[in-house]
């Protein structure tokens, strides 16, 4: 059976590198920890000393609520929840329906996806005061932090003005100071000040340059064949051999989260041949027991017209995750 290995030393290396910029890490473990396994990664984060995380929904929060002192839900329900759970407020309408007292206000500084609009901020703050909501945090999200350009700094400047307004409001009304977070993985080294917390996802998992890959996908050998010259293999015989050669079938396919390919694919130590199957792929060479599909997602993604996130989050949750 195929296995996903999680490299603890690489994961901690990435966390060390992030901590050297800002030790206050709000770790993003949404969508099954970007495919790495939400329980597996939560155990490692707790061992490292991370106390705050972000998840996608209430169901994920329920899974990890015993690991951390605060869990921020990006897309929460409206009902009340545990003391260590905070709800991200993505619109004024959501705020008015919300019944959970612990919140983070998300501010739309230019992404135009979701968040409280700048012109709605005064109304939102007044509503929080009226309903006695505890504003634990205020945050925004960059739309172009992975590019060279001015958009990131335009958003950053807008957020600093929001920060000032929120702090003045809290002081005037004797409210606790919330913490502010806007720095994501791509913005870590770009901002003059990363503020109170950095909200990090893909960098932790080694999915961008400068960070070490954390996930390895290893397939088990199912069968070994000898392919004759001018003989094809796989669906539609998309691969035709130019010589006598050994081929090996392993138990990993597109049902496990590998993007579909029809003209081969470069793996860690060999090449996949022809078309991938739902549950298998045929690779070049003879292997004893196992074949490494990838151990650095940044290299594997070069086979496809996509991004590292897209492959990682689609790794099937049924594949066993093992910390090494």
- d(Cα 10, Cα 88) in Å, to the nearest integer? 30
Active site residues: 30, 235
What does DSSP say about strands 271-273 and 281-284: parallel, antiparallel, or unpaired?
Answer: antiparallel
Distance between CA atoms of residues 98 and 165, nearest Å: 23
* Helix or strand (DSSP H, E) at 226: strand 215-227
Task: Report whether 23 contacts 195 (CB < 8 A).
Answer: no
Query: Any idea what the Cα angle at residue 162 is, between residues 157 and 163, rounded to 5°?
Result: 95
CA dihedral 277→280→284→286, nearest 10 degrees, is -160
The encoded tokens of residue 175 equal: 């409210």
d(C-alpha 53, C-alpha 142), whole Å = 19
**What is the radius of gyration, based on Cα positions, of the chain?**
23
| Residues, the chain | 324
């Amino acid at each position: 059976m195929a296995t996903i290995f999680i490299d603890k030393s690489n994961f901690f290396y990435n966390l060390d590198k992030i901590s050297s910029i800002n030790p206050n890490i709000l770790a993003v473990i949404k969508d099954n920890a970007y495919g790495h396994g939400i329980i597996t990664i939560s155990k490692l984060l707790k061992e490292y000393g991370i106390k705050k995380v972000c998840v996608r929904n209430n169901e994920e929060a329920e899974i990890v609520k015993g690991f951390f002192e605060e869990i921020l839900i990006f897309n929460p329900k409206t009902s009340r929840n545990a003391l260590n759970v905070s709800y991200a407020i993505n619109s004024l309408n959501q705020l008015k329906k919300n019944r959970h007292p612990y919140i983070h206000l998300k501010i739309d500084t230019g992404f135009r996806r979701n968040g409280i609009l700048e012109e709605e901020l005064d109304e939102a703050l007044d509503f929080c005061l009226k309903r006695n909501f505890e504003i634990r945090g205020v945050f925004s999200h960059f739309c172009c932090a992975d590019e060279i350009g001015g958009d990131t700094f335009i958003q950053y400047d807008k957020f600093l003005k929001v920060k000032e307004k929120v702090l003045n409001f809290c002081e005037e009304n004797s409210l606790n100071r919330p913490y502010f977070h806007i720095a994501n993985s791509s913005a870590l080294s770009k901002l003059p000040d990363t503020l109170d917390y950095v909200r990090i996802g893909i960098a932790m998992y080694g999915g961008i340059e400068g960070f070490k890959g954390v996930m390895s996908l290893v397939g088990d050998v199912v069968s070994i064949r000898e392919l004759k010259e001018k003989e094809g293999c796989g669906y539609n015989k998309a691969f035709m051999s130019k010589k006598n050669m050994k081929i090996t079938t392993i138990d990993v396919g597109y049902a496990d989260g590998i993007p579909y390919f029809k003209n081969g694919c470069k793996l860690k130590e060999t090449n996949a041949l022809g078309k991938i199957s739902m549950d298998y792929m045929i690779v070049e060479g003879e292997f004893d027991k196992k074949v490494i599909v990838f151990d650095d997602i940044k290299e594997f993604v070069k086979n496809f017209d996509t991004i590292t996130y897209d492959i990682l989050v689609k790794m099937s949750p049924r594949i066993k995750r093992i910390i090494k």
